[in-house]
Structure 1
Amino acid sequence: MHLDWWTIGLQTINFGILVWLLHRFLYKPVLTMIDARKAEVRGQFDVAKDVEAKAKAELAAVEAERAGIAAEREAALKAAATQAQEMAEARRAQAERDAEALMDSTRKTLASEREGALDEARRIALDLGSDFAQRLLAEVPMQYRAEAWIERIEQHLKAMPQAEREALVQQLANGKPLAIVTACALPPATADHWNARLRQSLGVSSAMTFAVDPALTAGAELHFPTAILRFSWQSALAAARMEAGAHGQPR
């Protein structure tokens, strides 16, 4: 086989020129374009990673905000439940206080009404007793009534402390009279009897005057110049009525 070295050499030169041309005008621009495309893709990937990171951050913020909202909602519900319970307890306590105040007011009202009724009953009993006693007393002869009154006066004067009795006697000095007031007029003989017995009990010789005051109901009063000794039913009934009124006062 015969080889044509000139042909082989020319073909080699042509192949080298072809390779250079391909490398210069085709392969190198393609590599440059591939590198540029890689850089562009890498840039887009980095942007995508940044976007993903931002999206994750925003999602985390949203989740945190949602968790905060849930916590606030739960706290608000708990606070509302606590407030509602406190308000219910306050209303119950107020209702209990109102009920207790009403019961206390009712008890006081009932007690006051009961005391008022008892006081009125006492007054009625006193009035009836006084009226009944007056009727019975009217049937007793005057001499017996007068004797009972003068004995009571004498017993009182005898039981008085010496200093008090002397003070009363001192008021009758210099002829000052002693006024004897009775519920009804004493017969002259009875008046004279009283005069003698009172002078003896007091140890005086002063003049004595007699007067009548039907308001005394029964009994008598000794009116000294600056003092009065009361032995009448009027004073006893007044004391009883005052005691009845004291019982009727609210406590």
Structure 2
Amino acid sequence: MMHLDWWTIGLQTINFGILVWLLYRFLYKPVLTMIDARKAEVRRQFDTVRDFEAKANAELAAVEAERAGIAAEREAALKAAAAQAQEMAEARRAQAERDAQALMDSTRKTLASERESALDEARRLALDLGADLAQRLLAEVPMQYRAEAWIERIEQHLKAMPQAERDALVRQLADGKPLTIVTACALPPATADQWNARLRQSLGVAGAMTFAVDPALIAGAELHFPTAILRFSWQSALAATRTEVGSHGGPR
């Protein structure tokens, strides 16, 4: 039979209890405390990592939003720049069209002015040439025929004048004031006497009349009253024609 030594069992039991207490007191409890502390540290680090991750996500979202904003601003800036460039191009094109139109208008006006000037010069040359030719032809006509044509024209003009205007001219010859008859060339004495008599009759006066010569008249005659002149010369006709030609060549 097995013999049990209760004292040995008792002592071993006490030793085991003491061992368990020592293990619990100096090993298990510190280990548990260390494990709890480690858990707390891990939990704290996990919370820190989670907070850092959340912050990082927030910053990443902000960066993405900022990037999206920058992209939108860039796109808007590009659209604005394109619109501005298009507007500037249209403005330059419109200005170029206006400049071209202005140049064309100026060119047309210049050409028209030059054409009018050339026509005016041609008219003047034709007028001068015609006057010169007419003067040469007229020189071949006997003086008596030329003088007759001139005096008839003067008589017709005096006859067609209103009575009030003719009376005003006659009054200028009162008190012996002379009437001067200016011709382009000297009239023969007989022709001058005939003019004297016919003009006295047309005007109804008996005052003195004198004759003078002015080659610048080209042809025809002028009646010089004290304060008025009746012109029947080619000089006055040519001057009026030149004035008319000049007015036709004026600005349009």
For residues 28 and 247 of structure 1, the distance between their equivalents in structure 2, rounded to whole angstroms, comes to 130
Q: Offset at 1:3? A: 5.2
For residues 129 and 24 of structure 2, the distance between their equivalents in structure 1, rounded to whole angstroms, comes to 151
The answer for the alignment partner of 1:246 in structure 2 is 247
1:133 to 2:134 alignment: yes
Name structure 2 gaps, 5 residues minimum. Answer: none
For residues 140 and 115 of structure 1, the distance between their equivalents in structure 2, rounded to whole angstroms, comes to 36
The answer for the alignment partner of 1:118 in structure 2 is 119
Q: Offset at 1:22? A: 2.0
The answer for the alignment partner of 2:66 in structure 1 is 65
The answer for the alignment partner of 2:226 in structure 1 is 225
For residues 118 and 10 of structure 2, the distance between their equivalents in structure 1, rounded to whole angstroms, comes to 155
1:198 to 2:204 alignment: no
Q: Offset at 1:30? A: 1.1
1:4-19 aligned within 5 A: 4-19=5-20
- Secondary structure of the structure 2 residue equivalent to 1:122: helix
1:1-251 aligned within 5 A: 4-251=5-252
Q: Offset at 1:97? A: 1.0
Can you list the C-alpha shifts for 1:95-147, whole angstroms capped at 9, x where unaligned?
A: 11111111111101110111011101111111111111111111111111111
- Equivalent AA in structure 2 for residue 217 of structure 1: I
For residues 14 and 215 of structure 2, the distance between their equivalents in structure 1, rounded to whole angstroms, comes to 176
CA RMSD of the aligned region, Å?
1.4
- Equivalent AA in structure 2 for residue 172 of structure 1: L
Name structure 1 gaps, 5 residues minimum. Answer: none
Q: Offset at 1:36? A: 0.8
Give the TM-score, by structure 1 length: 0.95
- Secondary structure of the structure 1 residue equivalent to 2:187: coil
Q: Offset at 1:5? A: 4.4
Identity %: 90
- Secondary structure of the structure 1 residue equivalent to 2:227: coil
- Equivalent AA in structure 1 for residue 57 of structure 2: K
For residues 128 and 22 of structure 1, the distance between their equivalents in structure 2, rounded to whole angstroms, comes to 151
- Larger deviation, residues 131-140 vs 60-69: 60-69
Can you list the C-alpha shifts for 1:21-49, whole angstroms capped at 9, x where unaligned?
A: 22212211111111111111111111111
Give the TM-score, by structure 2 length: 0.95
- Larger deviation, residues 94-103 vs 224-233: 94-103
